[in-house]
């Protein structure tokens, strides 16, 4: 009797659990249908659509630029050397000194030259006395006139020898050929210098020159005076302005490029000779539709975006092939495929399939759908 009652109670409990399970299943099925199933409030793209950010195609200015790499040079640069082998007796400069044209830099040993000057002066004095004597005698008619003329020639020769001796002495004092800044040097008094040996360097860097190659197809748009913009790795994105000063008269037959020279003002001597310089030559500006770089996907030789299309049942992502142009400032120029004002998916493209329902972050997706917990904050970008 007890066993019979036990089985009846167990059967009743099991039946009750089954009824509860069926009720819960029906309740969850109804909620799913109401929240995002076909024909429900959300419709396609309702509760189950992928949440994306939105960008709007806008008009933006793009600049046509020729971008090349060049090397900075001083407006004038020279290695200070000696024309003879001699010992240095005095160093008259310091490293990094700014000097004027003609400033003495190094004095070489000049004992022979000093002796030569003394000898030449003595010869001039002797020739002067002989000329004075023969001229007086010739004026009195005692000596022939030709003797006085020979003495005058000897005096002129002695004076020329003195000038030559002084010039040789002057060569022992090396001077700056132009104004500029001296570089590092390792010479001191007592150093033996040889012809061609570098004593120091001298650079005029108030204005720097940059020589850079330009393909010959751009020769028609290059002109002396055309503005350029230069950037240097050492200074990040800071731009230095300048102008094209000269275009070479010849084209390299191997590279089919012409060399252009730009001059860039260099206050503070921030640009140093030898620096790599990225040069951008502007050709003009144009206005075109633009999309954020993150919204454009590349596939092979082509590119595409997902345009957000609104319908009666919500928004869907439509794949649109586009033709792209320049990339500038984080935006891609759209040559064809989209118009200004079109709404496209701004991010999360790798999780989207063509025609899939999408929900714009911050709009609840389509018509009345709820934004899932943890969805991204509203991010509506416009390519302006």
For residue 341, what are the CA distances in angstroms to 56, 304, 381, 382?
6, 17, 12, 9
Report pLDDT for 84. Answer: 85
pTM value is: 0.53
Report pLDDT for 265. Answer: 94
Task: List the alpha helices (DSSP H) in the chain.
Answer: 2-36, 111-140, 145-170
Q: Are 377 and 51 in contact (CB under 8 A)?
A: no
Which of helix, strand or coil describes residue 298? strand
Q: Are 72 and 271 in contact (CB under 8 A)?
A: yes
Report pLDDT for 172. Answer: 87
The CA-based diameter of the chain, rounded to the nearest angstrom, is: 182
Q: What sign has the CA pseudo-torsion 55, 61, 67, 70?
A: negative
- At which residue do the structure tokens 């972050």 appear? 361
- At which residue do the structure tokens 């084209």 appear? 251
Length of the chain: 384
Strands of 173-175's sheet, edge to edge?
173-175, 104-108, 86-91, 192-193
269 contact partners, CB below 8 Å, separation of at least 6: 181, 205, 206
Q: Each residue's pLDDT tens digit in the chain (384 positions)?
A: 555 566 676 777 777 778 877 777 766 554 444 444 444 444 444 445 778 888 889 888 887 778 889 999 998 989 999 888 889 999 999 998 999 999 999 999 888 888 889 998 999 999 999 888 888 888 887 878 888 888 889 999 999 999 998 888 888 899 999 999 999 998 999 899 998 889 999 999 999 999 999 888 888 878 888 889 999 999 988 999 999 999 999 998 888 899 999 999 998 889 999 999 999 887 767 888 999 988 888 888 889 988 888 877 778 888 889 998 888 888 898 988 888 988 898 876 777 778 888 878 765 444 333 333 333 333 333 333
Report pLDDT for 362. Answer: 66
Three-class SS of 78-94: EEEEECCCEEEEEECCC
């Amino acid at each position: 009797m007890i066993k019979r009652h036990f089985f009846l109670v167990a059967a009743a409990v099991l039946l009750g659990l089954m009824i509860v399970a069926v009720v819960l299943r029906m309740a969850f099925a109804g909620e799913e249908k109401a929240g995002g199933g076909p024909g429900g409030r959300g419709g396609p793209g309702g509760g189950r659509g992928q949440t994306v950010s939105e960008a709007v195609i806008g008009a933006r200015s793009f600049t046509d630029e020729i971008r090349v790499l060049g090397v900075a040079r001083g407006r004038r640069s020279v290695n200070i050397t000696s024309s003879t082998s001699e010992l240095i007796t005095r160093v008259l400069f310091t490293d990094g000194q700014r000097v004027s044209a003609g400033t003495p830099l190094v004095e070489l040993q000049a004992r022979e030259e000093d002796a030569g000057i003394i000898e030449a002066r003595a010869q001039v004095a002797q020739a002067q006395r002989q000329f004075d004597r023969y001229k007086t005698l010739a004026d009195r008619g005692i000596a022939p006139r030709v003797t006085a003329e020979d003495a005058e020639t000897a005096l002129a020769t002695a004076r020329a020898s003195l000038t030559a001796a002084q010039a040789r002495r002057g060569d022992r004092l090396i001077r700056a050929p132009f104004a500029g800044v001296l570089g590092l040097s390792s010479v001191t008094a007592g150093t033996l210098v040889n012809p061609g040996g570098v004593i120091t360097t001298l650079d005029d860097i108030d204005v720097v020159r940059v020589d850079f190659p330009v393909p010959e197809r751009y020769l028609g748009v290059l002109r002396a005076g055309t503005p350029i913009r230069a950037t240097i790795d050492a200074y990040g994105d800071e731009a230095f302005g300048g102008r094209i000063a000269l275009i070479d008269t010849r084209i390299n037959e191997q590279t089919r490029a012409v060399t252009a020279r730009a001059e860039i003002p260099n206050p503070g001597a921030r640009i140093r000779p030898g620096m790599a310089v990225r040069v951008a030559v502007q050709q003009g500006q144009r206005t075109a539709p633009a999309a954020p770089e993150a919204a454009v996907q590349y596939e092979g030789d082509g590119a595409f975006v997902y345009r957000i299309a609104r319908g009666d049942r919500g928004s869907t992502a439509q794949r649109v092939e586009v033709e792209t142009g320049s990339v500038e400032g984080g935006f891609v120029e759209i040559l064809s495929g989209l118009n200004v004002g079109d709404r496209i998916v701004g991010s999360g493209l790798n999780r989207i399939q063509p025609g899939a329902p999408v929900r714009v972050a911050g709009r609840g997706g389509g018509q009345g759908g709820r934004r899932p917990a943890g969805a991204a904050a509203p991010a509506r970008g416009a390519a302006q």
